[in-house]
Amino acid sequence: MEKNLKQLANMLELECLTGKENLDRVPHGAYSSDLLSDVMGNAQKDMLWITTQSHKNIVAVASLKELSAIIIVNGRKVGEEVLEAAESEGVVILFSEIPAFETAGKLYNYLHDIEK
C-alpha cells in the first residue's frame, strides 16, 4: 500500500502548516536542496522537497514542479505571507524541528520500509 502525506506526517512527527486538504497525496521520492534553481532543474513531479528555505519563492517552485509537499526543517519559522501563498496554490508545507540530514534519513527509512 502506498503511503500518503497524512501517514508520513504522523509517522515522522511533522506538523502540517498548509494544504491539509491535500494530505492524501502519495509522495514518490524526495529531493533535498536549498537552491531553488537546483530544485527546478532536478526535482521530479510528486517528490517531497526538504529545505531550510522559508520564503515565498519556495511555493512558486513547488507549484511549478508539482511537488507533493515541502518539508521545512531546522525549526525554520515560516511567515504568514508564505503560508497564505501556499494555501492559495494548494501547496502542502510540512514542518520539522530536526535538521535536514536527520529528516532525510527518517524519510528514506519510512519510504523504503526500513526499521530503525
Note whether residue 116 is domain-resident: no
pLDDT tens track, the chain, 116 positions: 688 999 999 999 999 999 999 999 999 999 999 999 999 999 999 999 999 999 999 999 999 999 999 999 999 999 999 999 999 999 999 999 999 999 999 999 988 886 55
Assess if residue 11 is contained within a domain: yes
CATH number at residue 91: 3.40.1390.20
Beta bridge partners of 19: none
Q: How many domains does the chain have?
A: 1
The verdict on residue 51 lying in a domain is yes
Whether residue 30 lies inside any domain: the answer is yes
Contact between residue 14 and residue 94 where contact means Cβ atoms under 8 Å apart = yes
The C-alpha R_g of the chain, in whole angstroms, comes to 13
What contacts 80, CB < 8 A, 6 or more positions away? Answer: none
Whether 92 and 71 have beta carbons less than 8 Å apart is answered as: no
Which structural domain range is residue 53 located in? 5-111
Residue 47 within a domain: yes
